[in-house]
A and B are shown apart, each in its own frame.
Chain A
Amino acid sequence: MALSQANVFSQLSWQEIKIVEHAIHIRNYAPREPIFKQGDPGSGMYIIIEGRVGIFLDIPNQEPKMLSELSEGDFFGEIALLDESPRTAAATAVENCIIIGFYRPDLMEILKTKPVLGSKILLALSEVLAIRLRSTNNELVKVSRVLEDKVVSPENE
């Protein structure tokens, strides 16, 4: 999977992709090996090159609940590039995985030495966040409409 397929890097030229390639880390994970745990300080994003990754939510006194399963080309944890707050869910390899890791220190280093490239990555990250925010707003509007209908309908009946 080419690095440029990830939307954070999709706007970059091939020379810029080459620079990012020097900054990223390629890691191998065995089945059921944790990539990060819920509550760990977030420090970067991951792009799956090969294999499947499960995103789990830890619930006290219960088995962890699988929220989604990601596969080749999918990416996760990109908000941690901007924010060091703890991970809200855990990521675990479902099978043998090869994963690209791009971390906050790598982004900071690029921002320091290649500010134009760093700004492009930050802009792409902002676009990802803007799309997510818009989608969350739409979901919120839908939910509030359903709630309004539920509140209004008993009076009509």
Chain B
Amino acid sequence: MSSQKSVQIASNSVRFFHQSLFKTLVYFTLLILILLGSYRAFPLVQDALFFLIIASILTVILNPLVDWMESSGIRRMYGALLVFGGIFTLIGTGVVKGIPALLNEVGRIKDVIQQNSATDSLDSLINNINSRIAQYIPNFKLDMDIISDLSAQFFGQLGSILAGALDTFTTIIFILIITMFFLVDGQRMMKRLIETVPNRYFEMSLNINYRTKQQLTNFLRGQLLAALGVAIQSIIGLHLLNWIFDANISGVFLIGSIAGLANMIPFVGPFMGMIPAIIVSLFNNLGDPIAAASFYYILHIVIMFFIVQMIDNNVISPIVVSGSMEMHPLTVILLILIGSQIGVLAMFLAVPGWGISKVVIQEVYQGLKGHRLI
């Protein structure tokens, strides 16, 4: 009896896995077709499309704030102006103080990595690691050039992204102006657009638009709050490591921000978040016998990030992230692989981007099904 039951459970699991795999493949094919179609059909409007997408995402994030101001009696126009006043102040402060500081930090870490790659202390560290690992895995050899190249490449790319951000300051202003129009007049624009829909599909389109907007607002707000939570916890944790163990980890704000952003990627994000901290700790503490005895604080860093993840998974995420982000591990791996072909930024954005697409596709599917159109 029990064997029959277990066979049934196993066959259900296999069926569930196949269904889930099938769904993932269908979603993937749809997304790739949409992306390819958009890319092929609108090569001339690619930039405009990019601006519109980013402005729409910003509108979804900022809309609740402007709505709240409007419900408190402030006219929508003034509410949007207040929000933008705040954003411009933040950007201004960031440009004047933050970005040069971050660029310095990234450049400094890159220099440390490149300088240290030529020193004997790094050689001895690598030899030490190789000899320890060789006890368990014969023929294993960690190449110093690979480590130094990879680390320099990682921080070099990060530096070029930040420097690129400075160059594209005008683009940011342009996107913010579009967002401003969307915030003030978006409702009317969307109404005009939906009014062109034939009567047969009108109610359905209105509902899909409303539900998608709601889901996206919840999803993006949840993701941003969770990322902010992880970033703050990581910064506090790294400061504590420096304070209690004298771990000498520099660039704490940058590393915390990377950990927060990486957290948007399920499964692999937390590991990606701790890598910069480990690299910085290794290179900052080379030649220090106390640090070498503590194995360059790698275990401390891993435990700290593990605690951050525990707090995030059990306290913060259940409160702020909606349940719509559940993803098959295979989906996540494929998305990261595809993103990594494009660049570091695409790798970070692939999973949240997929989450947004999934919400839109699900709502359109449910709407069409509810009205018996499919």
Q: Which residues of A contact B (CB under 8 A)?
A: 22, 25, 27, 29, 33-36, 39-41, 43-44, 101, 103-105, 108-109, 112-115
Contact A41 to B71, CB < 8 A, known contacts A27-B199, A27-B202: no
Contact A109 to B71, CB < 8 A, known contacts A41-B370, A44-B203: no
Contact across chains for B209 and A105 when beta carbons are under 8 A apart: yes
B81 part of interface (Cβ distance < 8 Å):
no
Contact across chains for A40 and B203 when beta carbons are under 8 A apart: yes
Contact across chains for B200 and A43 when beta carbons are under 8 A apart: no
Contacts of B372 in A (CB 8 A): 39-40
B5 part of interface (Cβ distance < 8 Å):
no
Contact across chains for A33 and B199 when beta carbons are under 8 A apart: yes
Residue of A36, A105, A112 touching B207 (CB-CB under 8 A):
A105
Contact A114 to B203, CB < 8 A, known contacts A25-B195, A105-B210, A108-B210: no
Give A27's nearest chain B residue, CB to CB.
B199
Contacts of A108 in B (CB 8 A): 210
Which of B191, B195, B203, B371 counts the most A-chain CB atoms under 10 A from its CB?
A: B203
Q: List 15 additional A-B contacts (Cβ < 8 Å) besides A22-B188, A35-B199.
A: A25-B195, A25-B202, A27-B199, A27-B202, A29-B199, A34-B199, A39-B372, A41-B370, A43-B207, A44-B203, A101-B202, A103-B203, A105-B209, A108-B210, A113-B76
Contact A25 to B191, CB < 8 A, known contacts A34-B200, A40-B371, A105-B206: yes
Interface residues of B in 183-206 (CB under 8 A from A): 187-188, 191, 194-195, 199-200, 202-203, 206
Judged by DSSP, the binding face of B is helix
Closest 8 pairs (CB-CB, A-B): A105-B210, A113-B70, A41-B370, A43-B203, A112-B67, A43-B207, A113-B67, A103-B206
Contacts of B209 in A (CB 8 A): 105
Contacts of A112 in B (CB 8 A): 67, 71
Contacts of A36 in B (CB 8 A): 203
Q: Measured between alpha carbons, how far is A114 from B200 in the docked complex, in Å?
A: 30
B331-374: CB near A (< 8 Å → 1, else 0) gives 00000000000000000000000000000000000000011100
Q: Measured between alpha carbons, how far is A103 from B194 in the docked complex, in Å?
A: 13
Contact across chains for B206 and A115 when beta carbons are under 8 A apart: no
Residue of A39, A40, A43 touching B206 (CB-CB under 8 A):
A43
Contacts of B71 in A (CB 8 A): 112-115
Q: Measured between alpha carbons, how far is A103 from B208 in the docked complex, in Å?
A: 12
A3 CB to nearest chain B CB (Å): 16
Contacts of B200 in A (CB 8 A): 34
A34 CB to nearest chain B CB (Å): 7
Q: Measured between alpha carbons, how far is A39 from B371 in the docked complex, in Å?
A: 8
Which of A33, A39, A43 counts the most B-chain CB atoms under 10 A from its CB?
A: A43
A41 CB to nearest chain B CB (Å): 5
Q: List 22 A-B contacts (CB under 8 A).
A: A22-B188, A25-B191, A25-B195, A25-B202, A25-B206, A27-B199, A34-B199, A40-B370, A40-B371, A41-B207, A43-B206, A43-B207, A103-B203, A103-B207, A104-B210, A105-B207, A105-B209, A105-B210, A112-B67, A113-B70, A114-B71, A115-B71
Contact A41 to B67, CB < 8 A, known contacts A27-B202, A103-B203, A108-B210: no
Contacts of A101 in B (CB 8 A): 202-203
Contacts of B370 in A (CB 8 A): 40-41
